[in-house]
Amino acid sequence: MSGLQAKNFNAGYPKKQIIKDLSIPMLSRGEITVLLGPNGSGKSTLLRSLAGLNHATGELLLDGHDLMQMPFAERAKKVVYLPQSLPAGVHLHVLESIVVAQRASGGSSDDKSEAEVMALLHQLGISHLALSYLDQLSGGQKQLVGLAQSLIRQPSLLLLDEPLSALDLNYQFHVMDLVRKETQKRNIITVVVVHDINIALRHGDHVLMLQSGDLIADGKPEEVITPDSLAKVYGVRGRIERCSFGRPQVLIDGLVEHSVS
């Protein structure tokens, strides 16, 4: 039973339920699952609920163990959630903030640990920021530091909420490529929210497509992202074609026209 699975999962806020009786098939270790859906479909709510940050009911099984029954501190050792932006006003050096994250997950504070942090910063292309303060970084730089803080904690389940939103095209590709490599190398389960459907096609192993808190489709990206699902969920007329390298990509031709009675 290696992986993540949800059964009869409900989540939301005290006065509004967003996720309704959701059942998610087994999400395998070593793979990236992409959450897709229009604004307001419940993607971020689901991600926060998987992390234990929103009220939820039902079963949430990680390697056969129900996360819903775990104390939050124990759950937080297995599950790491990266929000869209880091908290403002934190006056720590980048290096120090990542060492703190490492210690919080049981890591040591020796020279080997600092070397591991620096190696990770180098992989992310931000080693030059090691002695910069968090509150002096750009939004994109903060997101990269947040990713480093998340990976250094060695999670079993990594939850990334729009990690590319403040990044330019170069870093978007770089980060998704790194996330894929780290997901495979560490044999973790990664669930990521993105808005760019072509990123899901290129970098995702599995896709969950949500609409109004319901799971509309799940499976491999090319099975889920179809002209029919684009019309039903996003209200657009689209097609999937292959580029000169043979990679699938979405092309949007217009909006779905709704008949007026």
The answer as to whether 85 is a domain residue is yes
Do 20 and 64 belong to one domain? yes
Cβ-based neighbours of 95, under 8 Å, separated by 6 or more: 114, 117, 118, 121, 130, 131
Q: Which structural domain range is residue 245 located in?
A: 226-261
Do 172 and 238 belong to one domain? no
Do 87 and 145 belong to one domain? yes
The answer as to whether 108 is a domain residue is no
Do 243 and 260 belong to one domain? yes
C-alpha angle 16/11/182, rounded to 5°?
135
Do 48 and 80 belong to one domain? yes
The pLDDT tens digits of the residues spanning 218-247 come to: 999 999 999 999 999 999 999 999 999 999
Inter-CA distances, 201 with 25, 26, 34, 218, Å = 19, 20, 9, 13
Cα 253 from Cα 261, distance rounded (Å): 25
Looking at residue 90, its pLDDT comes to 78
The pLDDT tens digits of the residues spanning 25-58 come to: 999 999 999 999 999 999 999 999 999 999 999 9
User: pLDDT band at residue 259, thresholds of 50, 70 and 90?
Assistant: very low
In angstroms, what is the C-alpha Rg of the chain? 19
The answer as to whether 110 is a domain residue is no
Do 66 and 142 belong to one domain? yes
Do 15 and 65 belong to one domain? yes
User: pLDDT band at residue 261, thresholds of 50, 70 and 90?
Assistant: very low
Do 55 and 32 belong to one domain? yes
The answer as to whether 177 is a domain residue is yes
Looking at residue 105, its pLDDT comes to 74
Do 233 and 221 belong to one domain? no
Do 69 and 15 belong to one domain? yes
Do 149 and 189 belong to one domain? yes
Compute the average pLDDT of residues 208-213: 96
Cα 36 from Cα 195, distance rounded (Å): 7
Higher pLDDT, 160 or 14: 160
Looking at residue 239, its pLDDT comes to 96
- End-to-end CA gap in the chain: 51
The number of domains in the chain is 2
Looking at residue 88, its pLDDT comes to 73
The pLDDT tens digits of the residues spanning 159-184 come to: 999 999 889 999 899 899 999 999 99
Q: What percent of the chain has pLDDT over 70?
A: 96
SS (H, E, C) 68-122: HHCCHHHHHHHEEEECCCCCCCCCCEHHHHHHHHHHHCCCCCCHHHHHHHHHHHH
The answer as to whether 190 is a domain residue is yes
Q: What CATH number is associated with residue 38?
A: 3.40.50.300
